[in-house]
Amino acid sequence: MTQNTTETLTNTRLTEKEAELTQALYNSWKTQNPLNEDEWSYYATDDETAYRVQDELTRLKNESVGGYKVSLTSQQTQDMFSSNEPLYGAQLTSHFLHAPTSVNLSDLMEPLVEVELCFRAKEELNANDTLEDLLNKTTVAPALEVPDSRFKDWFPSLSKYLVMSDAAVGGLVVYGDEFDTKLFQTVDALENVNCTLLHDGKELKSGKSTEVLGNPLKSLKWLVDKLATQHKTLRKNQQVSSGTFVLPPTLTKGVWQARFDNGLGNVDLDVK
């Protein structure tokens, strides 16, 4: 990285180390040349540093933020990454894709695949909103999320702080038809969503929405509250991929499908 670039990033409130990590992540994102965790593990060692790097990385990508993904929403994944709460990553507008759609595996680095619910804010959401408010202020869609990392061999042992720095290993969010979340009538009804993940017609995994902090609306509430502590808000029309129902397998070529109950339908992704 050039001295001028370092100075520019540092002047935006990043330390020199934070600026170097930001630039390395951005270069990896552009070139698809993965980073080695060992070389960067000491560049982000706390939440504040990691989110500062993520903010600057998002700015460098020079595209509107279409929403967020929430990660580590089950006890199992929190334990895997030595965390006691979820984390989030800002996602670019172009990385939210409506199903059915197709992607090229060569455009990704080390992708996995998850099944989730994706919410969209019908109006700005804030920390005063209750779960009931969020039910009334959002739409919901079935989704396949494709997490992807700029680090080699990242799952399941990459440092939590590097995950956070790398936009929560953001890749793609493929979402199905949207419904008013009031389709569920009550907050508790969101706890009873089931999904089966298939690859080329073969059932791989099944999961339930209780894996997502007990209720995906609680994941959305966590995000809204977390953003508020950082003087941010979830704006109208932004989307939120709220957390996986299953431990994710590796994304490979073929036809992936997530089948949801409760009238949510299917999400189809063709990976070429």
Cα 104 from chain centre: 19
Contact between 211 and 71 (Cβ < 8 Å): no
CB atoms within 10 A of CB 96: 20
Cα 220 from chain centre: 12
Average pLDDT, the chain: 93
Q: What is the pLDDT of residues 215-259, one digit of tens each?
A: 999 999 999 999 999 999 999 999 999 999 999 999 999 999 999
Per-residue pLDDT at 1: 44
Q: Which of 145, 119, 146, 147 is nearest to 133 (CA)?
A: 119
Pairing state between β 65-71 and 239-241: parallel
Residues 6+ apart with CB under 8 A from 83: 72, 160
Residues 103-130: what's their mean pLDDT? 97
Give the phi and the psi of residue 112 in degrees, each rounded to 5. -115, 180
The pLDDT of residue 3 is above 50: no
Per-residue pLDDT at 72: 86
Q: Residue type at 163?
A: V
Q: What is the pLDDT of residues 169-217, one digit of tens each?
A: 999 999 999 999 999 999 999 999 999 999 999 999 999 999 999 999 9
Q: pLDDT grade, residue 6 (50/70/90)? A: very low
Contact between 113 and 226 (Cβ < 8 Å): no
Give the phi and the psi of residue 157 in degrees, each rounded to 5. -120, 5
What is the rounded distance in angstroms from the CA atom of residue 10 to the CA atom of residue 4?
A: 10
| Structural domains in the chain plus CATH codes | 65-271 (3.90.850.10)
Q: pLDDT grade, residue 78 (50/70/90)? A: confident
Residues 140-153: what's their mean pLDDT? 97
What is the rounded distance in angstroms from the CA atom of residue 36 to the CA atom of residue 2?
A: 21
